[in-house]
Structure 1
Amino acid sequence: MNFRVLLAGGAAPLALIAPGAFAAEAPVEAVPTATAPVDAPADAQVSSAGTGANDSGDIVVTARRRAETAQDVPLAISVVGGEHIDSTGSFNVGRLQQLTPTLQFYSSNPRNTAVNIRGLGVPFGLTNDGIEQGVGIYVDDVYNSRVASATFDFLDVKQIEVLRGPQGTLYGKNTTAGAINITTNQPTFDFEGKAEVSVGNLNFVQAKGAISGPITDTLAARFAVSSTSRRGTIYNVTTNQWIQSQDNLGLRGQLLFKPSEAFSITLAGDYSEQDAVCCGSVYVRTGTTQRATNRQFAALAAAQGYTVPSTNPFDRLTDLDSALQAGNKIGGVSLKVKWDVGPGTLTSVTAWRFWDWKPQNDRDFTGLPIVAKSQNPSQQDQYTQELRYNYSGDSLDFVLGAFGFYQRIDTQGTEAHGSASTKWNVNPSSSLYNTQVLDGLTALNTQYLKNTSLAVFGQASWKVTPELTLQPGIRVNYDKKDGFYQRRVFTGAGTEILLDGTTSATKTAQLAIFTPQTISPSFSDWNFSYDFTASYKVARGVLVYATYAKTFKSGGINQNGVPVDASNNPILAAATVKPESVQHYEAGIKTEFWDRRAIFNLSAFRTDIKDYQANVNNGQFGVLRGYLANAGAVRSQGIEADFSVRPSERFNAYVNSAYTDATYRKFVDAPCPPELSGGTSSPANCDISGQRLPGVSKWSFSFGFEANAPVEFLKQDGQVYLGYDGSYRSDFSSNPTPSAYTWIDGYSLSNFRLGFRTDAGLDVYGWVRNAFDQDYFEQLFVGPGNTGLIAGLPGDPRTWGFTVRTNF
């Protein structure tokens, strides 16, 4: 923490250097590109670094692995510029979702994070290492297999493209729901730099800086740093600490060797770490389950004299008694080689990445020592190699590629119960109720995963006429996963509990909490994907397109254990899950009008998934943390509309909207909601066919504007400006099976900024986020044991602060 404070303080003088020392830079974005999900109006008057605009004002993207304007790409795409990322405080994917309505982000801690597009991507709930994410995250062409990378601060980002819909024929790893393509600023042969410092309430301090320039005529370097710290938003009355804090550090260095225009090598390395007091929850409510009255939360708490610190979750009080930790380190090295060979360009991207996760959690969500310890630290190494050949001609463009991936994950888990566990889990009528039979009961979990994937892919664009383009694509993929999971169980006295055929009341009670298990699941399979897009330029500035895609998300294995039979033997048939089979249909229109000052884009889509990989949560404390199963069928369909306008260089505005209808089409053996669970006659599973997928709002919007006026202030020419960014989402379910107790009400957030920027590159502004102090939940959690407890994670309250930024 001291190092981060020193880093922030050291960057401050850079940000305050006299603006007259810097070269002039256009102070206004071409449009709110960060907020116009398709792109911004192509205005030739203004070009601003970091917005994705080229000299003509068009937004340049690489969604099809080549540089082209976003309006020419027959694809639903959100383009978010680096300048707008900074000015709106959208410094990670969690905040980015407020600008892109079809992006969903949920995170109870870095490991248990989901990034979905149109409601699809990864199952909602505890993360299982044995499956792939359906939204690929790429940073400078390097695939990030761990969605935990989405929790880190963006570092020196030029722009972000959110590609909606299957992308497998251009991106060599599972991207059945879409891809997030992040491009950072690259080394330059002209000296340049930028610095930024922000301070705010909740002890918020953020410092960012980057510097770039030549070392020789053929060698350039760039270095960037980011540091964020903030006090937590929930107060723990047990430990007298603020939790849910931020404490992030990021470093990135790059070397560019460019002996000629036809050849370049970029060596990049990055390192990021988080060391927050995290992650916890607050009491929200209780709901009646099928348990007996004396086994409901109220009776169990009263039996041990326990009361929650507050029944109002927005008092932001908790009393979690277990240690909390979210130590998170991620980084790696990549080597990118680009070589113009013949009529095209050959690109090689070689990368190694690591992830080190050191957590501690309180899994009972209370201040009682029920689950005294819950931690599953893990270490990951991944290696990727991608080769691509791009060709662009008068009538034909194509991309051919090959991709190789290897991943190794090792996890060492410890789960232990405390002195309150017996009275919480054992029936009062049992002779064991007043004993400490569960105190100190411990499970030691060991697991590893070896994940190999190989793919070849390609996509061609054939310009049949100047107006009509046909675009077929294919991908062939091979996946192999080998896993190991072992759970050993020990009593409080240290004696190992074995499944040796002996029984006793004590052993039965202990096995109801933790059951020993050893499995070695494996999966391998080939799959073939393809897509076809036809696009037609109806008139200047009007493009219509239609797409069909048949693709797969590879099968997986259960890395957290599987259910057991009546004899406590693992049900090995549940050790693997089938691949998801995806059929996707989409049609859209992209338009520019009013002399290219306005853009309106519309898309309609339907995605049908067979054998959807769903997360199933077990109701007991420690039997299973959650396992994977295949739902019969899922469908996500909807309409997206994006509008942006810039009538003059003094004003721009945008409105983006999405209607998403994402439901289980067939899931007849799903886990039951808490209101139907826990009783002796409760159904083993429930039919939730037709119900909504978790985390999906039917309606979501983002909207905003920026207005400016020329002024002279302190003898500096510049602009005073006012910006507003708002978002709204309707209600959504926060449980894999919809429950009356876990619906999150819809909410709207408003962010404002007011500032002055000079023609020389200095920008000073104040900001307020969640300006109207909206109370809302990011997630709700069903407490273990079917007691009816519902805990939650409140969203950030109103925050405010000031930022000083300069470019030179």
Structure 2
Amino acid sequence: MTSRHSPFPFKPRRLRAPDYAVVLLLALGGALPVLAEETEDATTGSETSKPVSAAQAKADATLGKVTVTARRREEDSQKVPTPITVVGGETLETQRVYKVQDLQQILPSVNVAFIHARQSSIAVRGIGNNPASDGLEGSAGVYLDNVYLGRPGMAVFDLLDIEQLELLRGPQGTLFGKNTTAGVLNISTRAPTFTPERSVEVSGGQDGYFQGKGTVSGALTDTLAGRVSAYRTRDDGYIKNVHDDNYLNGGERQGIRGQLLFKPNEDFDLRWINDYNEEDSSNGSMVVYGAADRFWQRAAAVGASPIRDPDRHKVNINSRQHVSVHQGGSSVEANWNLNGGYKLTSISAYRYWHFTPANDEQLNVSAINNTGVEVHDRQFSQEIRLASPTGGFFDYVLGAYAFNQNLGNKTFTDYGPLADPYLLGANLNALNNTYSKANGKIETDSFALFAQGTWHLTDKLDFTAGLRGTYEEKDAKVERFDPVGGAPVTGVGAVVRRNQLGAYDSGDLSLYSFAPSALLSLSYQFTDDLLGYASLSHGEKSGGVNLAVASAPTAGADSLLVGPERANDAELGIKTTLFDNRLQLNTNLFWTGIHGYQATTLYQPPGSTQLVSVLSNAGSVRSRGLEFEATALPIRGLTLNFNGSYNDVTYLSFKDAPCPAEVSTQANAPATCDLTGDRVVGASKWIANLNGEYAWNLDDGIRPYVTGSYSYRSEAEGTLDNSDLSKIDGYGLANFSVGLRKDLDDGQLDASVWLKNAFDKDYYLAAFASINGSYTASVGQPRTLGASVRYDF
């Protein structure tokens, strides 16, 4: 395929000059002197990546030990009896993975549904593929520096200065408490160091892409170190709006993270992290992916001409598409090494998130001028845990956790002069030129006690048991106000306006729950290089509240409540290290049963003019399959990583599912459909990811390298109703880069040229049920050619 804007396949498109103020700021940050003299003091923060000299590169290649905190203490990942994938910050940088939606290209059993920051979700083993519901947590927990993120959108920022990612699969409620029935993505950033570390990086590419990043770290005093990292990213977008010839799904993102590490001695350290991120973009712009006849008929009736071919990556809309996100937080982690080898940890955190959208209805006429959901969210959390010494017959971790979240949203719709003929099929003046607003709020209080212990029955056989008890309260309210604007109306028009937009107050809504989580595990170290394990676990995810009016006026306020989701899981796996630590092979079988699977969707019921948000317990789900991971150093300079999964995710019972548009828009359509035995939304049966890097040494400290990656996922159901119109085809993506590293003065220069989505594959990150039996889809990034220059010193 050729470029969308040029007859030449790889000609840069609209390559802008960089934002010189940002480049200068990052360069100055990178050049800041360390405030204290460099010393030989062994008191340092966590180890971080340093420039690799040519002499170091000549050392014999073996796989290094990877340290993880999956069991809330530092351990070798190959000795932890649970499925876990670790990706280092260097791999993220080499593969240019810096957005959450790209993580599925390097992680097994992961699906990321992404439209914009609010409508995003991370699913593990097919569990958790739900569009945003503000009153419901995700099934896969996301942690940033040991702090749980209450909304998936809190993770939608550029991954900056990352130490490593840990993906834990299966219920992790014992030690990672807060609704982790599917798994945990644990993101760790690089800590301050007492030795100087500075870097600056600038990238540019097609579609006006520019990114600047900088980091400076070092000692401030003998006992205090600091680290500051900042980034700014922008691009023009890649969805063309033929209405005005502008491009959408572009914009600007920027953020900063500042840290202090206080370490007066070997027995105490305190790390204080503050971060802020913001986005000003047109993300959330989707193409019309598929639609029933009603959509095309109604669009033609009002003179609209939507684009029929989603692969053209074009829309025809006359209103604004915009997303504004402001978020940040502060956390303090303190660690004490106590007498007898015990370790006490305290983590205190506050985070906030503010999301504001503007959305069109996919038409180039004024049926709906603007619609969306604005969200304000803030959370507080406190965790205290005690880890026992290791080396004896029994060791353990125990602790307590408290979490408070206060979220409010505003759902708004500004109807245009053509609202009635498009939404009702007749002009009753019921909705034309009216404005409707509804507010929702929910406060969550969660408290937990947890403990997990390991008995070393022999020098090879370990037995682990864990238990967590979580008590949670949720108090909520939903209120819709009378519409404003519109012409005075009587008769049928007045009835429709009242039924669709009339005032409603749910009153106070409450949920109370006690949720146990448990783990039983046996592991056997057959040899120093072979670990086998088997485990049984149980996890629970608390209930939620639909913060949209939805069905409440007719079905009652209780229809806004959804019960808990419960998961039972069994694992059987091995971890091996072979050929003098040059090859690691890990594989596991899993079986997970989900009861009360929580699901949310948008659809338009017969006779209604409104998209209704439905939040319910969608019966039972079974997820079972096989996962495989390999890391190899076959020859000096070549590193290969491969992971893949086979995942069979099926509804064992889902008798009251929404019907697909090809059914629901027909005359005498049933109110619900039966999806029992069908595949779960968003879950690809086959996933495979391969990446590698080959580097070699030349004279004068020059080290060329080439990298490549390929990720594949099979087809998946796009929306909860399993419509044929929203099915997402399977696809494979290839990325390549070539570059060289050179030792320069006391640092290392790294210059590269890279190509993302090299074969310009059309692919989609999510589908969404929309108006009049239509489905929209979020388009993946097209082929992008760019270059980066980085200097670490």
For normalisation by structure 1, the TM-score amounts to 0.89
Q: For residue 654 of structure 1, report the CA deviation from its aligned partner.
A: 2.2
Do residues 408 (structure 1) and 402 (structure 2) align? no
Q: For residue 24 of structure 1, report the CA deviation from its aligned partner.
A: 7.8
Query: Using the alignment, how far apart are the partners of 2:546 and 2:312 within structure 1?
Result: 38
Query: Using the alignment, how far apart are the partners of 1:721 and 1:75 within structure 2?
Result: 34
Alignment of 1:260-409 (within 5 A): 260-288=265-293, 296-308=294-306, 310-342=307-339, 343-362=341-360, 364-394=361-391, 395-409=393-407
Q: For residue 391 of structure 1, report the CA deviation from its aligned partner.
A: 1.4
| Letter paired with 1:277 | S
Q: For residue 785 of structure 1, report the CA deviation from its aligned partner.
A: 2.5
Does structure 2 conserve the Cα–Cα contact (< 8 Å) formed by 1:370 and 1:420? yes
Match of 2:666 among 679, 684, 693: 679
Residues 426 and 172 (structure 1 numbering): CA distance in 2 closer, same or farther, change over 3 Å? Answer: closer
| Letter paired with 1:242 | Y
Deviations 1:113-162 (A, max 9, x none): 111111113x523x112112121111111111111022111121111111
| Letter paired with 2:223 | T
Deviations 1:44-69 (A, max 9, x none): 8469xxxxxxxx82111111111111
Q: Residue in 2 aligned with 1:424?
A: 422
| Letter paired with 1:717 | G
Match of 1:556 among 544, 556, 561: 544
Deviations 1:188-231 (A, max 9, x none): 11111122111111111111111111111111111111111111
| Letter paired with 1:686 | C
| Letter paired with 1:318 | V
Do residues 478 (structure 1) and 471 (structure 2) align? yes
Q: Residue in 2 aligned with 1:104?
A: 111
Match of 1:124 among 121, 126, 130: 130
Do residues 602 (structure 1) and 587 (structure 2) align? yes
Q: For residue 766 of structure 1, report the CA deviation from its aligned partner.
A: 0.8
Query: Using the alignment, how far apart are the partners of 1:735 and 1:4 within structure 2?
Result: 40
Do residues 747 (structure 1) and 731 (structure 2) align? yes
Match of 2:704 among 696, 707, 720: 720
Residues 652 and 696 (structure 1 numbering): CA distance in 2 closer, same or farther, change over 3 Å? Answer: same
Alignment of 1:517-666 (within 5 A): 517-519=504-506, 520-564=508-552, 568-619=553-604, 623-666=610-653
Q: For residue 82 of structure 1, report the CA deviation from its aligned partner.
A: 0.6
| Letter paired with 1:527 | A
| Letter paired with 2:349 | A
For normalisation by structure 2, the TM-score amounts to 0.91
Do residues 199 (structure 1) and 184 (structure 2) align? no
| Letter paired with 1:655 | F
Query: Using the alignment, how far apart are the partners of 1:8 and 1:663 within structure 2?
Result: 50
Alignment of 1:76-91 (within 5 A): 76-91=83-98
Query: Using the alignment, how far apart are the partners of 2:603 and 2:250 within structure 1?
Result: 30
Q: Residue in 2 aligned with 1:143?
A: 148
Query: Using the alignment, how far apart are the partners of 1:688 and 1:44 within structure 2?
Result: 57
Residues 626 and 234 (structure 1 numbering): CA distance in 2 closer, same or farther, change over 3 Å? Answer: same
Query: Using the alignment, how far apart are the partners of 1:365 and 1:423 within structure 2?
Result: 15
Query: Using the alignment, how far apart are the partners of 2:445 and 2:346 within structure 1?
Result: 19
Q: For residue 269 of structure 1, report the CA deviation from its aligned partner.
A: 0.6
Query: Using the alignment, how far apart are the partners of 2:411 and 2:29 within structure 1?
Result: 45
| Letter paired with 1:698 | K
Query: Using the alignment, how far apart are the partners of 2:27 and 2:288 within structure 1?
Result: 40
Q: For residue 260 of structure 1, report the CA deviation from its aligned partner.
A: 0.7
Residues 355 and 678 (structure 1 numbering): CA distance in 2 closer, same or farther, change over 3 Å? Answer: same
Q: Residue in 1 aligned with 2:22?
A: 7
Query: Using the alignment, how far apart are the partners of 1:669 and 1:613 within structure 2?
Result: 13
Deviations 1:348-400 (A, max 9, x none): 111111111111112x2222222222132221110000001111321322111
Q: For residue 627 of structure 1, report the CA deviation from its aligned partner.
A: 2.4
Does structure 1 conserve the Cα–Cα contact (< 8 Å) formed by 2:179 and 2:539? no
| Letter paired with 1:709 | W
Query: Using the alignment, how far apart are the partners of 1:511 and 1:726 within structure 2?
Result: 54
Does structure 1 conserve the Cα–Cα contact (< 8 Å) formed by 2:755 and 2:783? yes
Residues 454 and 717 (structure 1 numbering): CA distance in 2 closer, same or farther, change over 3 Å? Answer: same
RMSD value over aligned CA atoms?
2.5
Residues 435 and 612 (structure 1 numbering): CA distance in 2 closer, same or farther, change over 3 Å? Answer: closer
| Letter paired with 2:421 | K
Query: Using the alignment, how far apart are the partners of 1:626 and 1:328 within structure 2?
Result: 23
Residues 118 and 442 (structure 1 numbering): CA distance in 2 closer, same or farther, change over 3 Å? Answer: same
Does structure 2 conserve the Cα–Cα contact (< 8 Å) formed by 1:326 and 1:359? yes
Secondary structure (helix, strand or coil) at the match of 1:299 reads helix
Do residues 804 (structure 1) and 785 (structure 2) align? no
Q: After the TM superposition, which of the residue ranges 440-449 and 475-484 deviates more from structure 2?
A: 440-449
Q: For residue 26 of structure 1, report the CA deviation from its aligned partner.
A: 2.1
Does structure 2 conserve the Cα–Cα contact (< 8 Å) formed by 1:562 and 1:570? no
Query: Using the alignment, how far apart are the partners of 2:106 and 2:648 within structure 1?
Result: 20
Does structure 2 conserve the Cα–Cα contact (< 8 Å) formed by 1:617 and 1:671? no
| Letter paired with 1:341 | L
| Letter paired with 1:384 | S
| Letter paired with 1:563 | S
Deviations 1:705-739 (A, max 9, x none): 22222113xxx313111111110000011111211
Query: Using the alignment, how far apart are the partners of 2:612 and 2:283 within structure 1?
Result: 19
Query: Using the alignment, how far apart are the partners of 1:629 and 1:44 within structure 2?
Result: 57
Does structure 1 conserve the Cα–Cα contact (< 8 Å) formed by 2:644 and 2:687? yes
Query: Using the alignment, how far apart are the partners of 1:672 and 1:353 within structure 2?
Result: 38
Q: For residue 515 of structure 1, report the CA deviation from its aligned partner.
A: 4.5
Residues 312 and 27 (structure 1 numbering): CA distance in 2 closer, same or farther, change over 3 Å? Answer: farther
Residues 699 and 674 (structure 1 numbering): CA distance in 2 closer, same or farther, change over 3 Å? Answer: same
Deviations 1:329-348 (A, max 9, x none): 11011111111122211011
Mark the runs of 5 or more structure 1 residues left unpaired by the alignment.
Answer: 32-42, 48-55, 289-295, 428-432, 498-502
Query: Using the alignment, how far apart are the partners of 2:182 and 2:213 within structure 1?
Result: 32
Match of 1:215 among 220, 225, 229: 220
Q: Residue in 1 aligned with 2:252?
A: 247
Secondary structure (helix, strand or coil) at the match of 1:508 reads helix
Q: Residue in 2 aligned with 1:706?
A: 693
Q: Residue in 2 aligned with 1:63?
A: 70
Residues 662 and 711 (structure 1 numbering): CA distance in 2 closer, same or farther, change over 3 Å? Answer: same
Secondary structure (helix, strand or coil) at the match of 2:696 reads strand
Q: Residue in 2 aligned with 1:449?
A: 442
Q: After the TM superposition, which of the residue ranges 238-247 and 157-166 deviates more from structure 2?
A: 238-247
Deviations 1:606-643 (A, max 9, x none): 11011111114331576454121112211111100111
Q: Residue in 2 aligned with 1:180?
A: 185
Query: Using the alignment, how far apart are the partners of 1:619 and 1:573 within structure 2?
Result: 20
| Letter paired with 1:724 | G
Q: Residue in 2 aligned with 1:464?
A: 457
Query: Using the alignment, how far apart are the partners of 1:641 and 1:744 within structure 2?
Result: 24
Q: After the TM superposition, which of the residue ranges 598-607 and 410-419 deviates more from structure 2?
A: 410-419
Query: Using the alignment, how far apart are the partners of 2:60 and 2:556 within structure 1?
Result: 66
Query: Using the alignment, how far apart are the partners of 2:130 and 2:776 within structure 1?
Result: 16
| Letter paired with 2:670 | P
Residues 610 and 5 (structure 1 numbering): CA distance in 2 closer, same or farther, change over 3 Å? Answer: farther
Does structure 1 conserve the Cα–Cα contact (< 8 Å) formed by 2:135 and 2:546? yes
Query: Using the alignment, how far apart are the partners of 1:445 and 1:168 within structure 2?
Result: 34
Query: Using the alignment, how far apart are the partners of 1:402 and 1:299 within structure 2?
Result: 58
Do residues 26 (structure 1) and 32 (structure 2) align? no
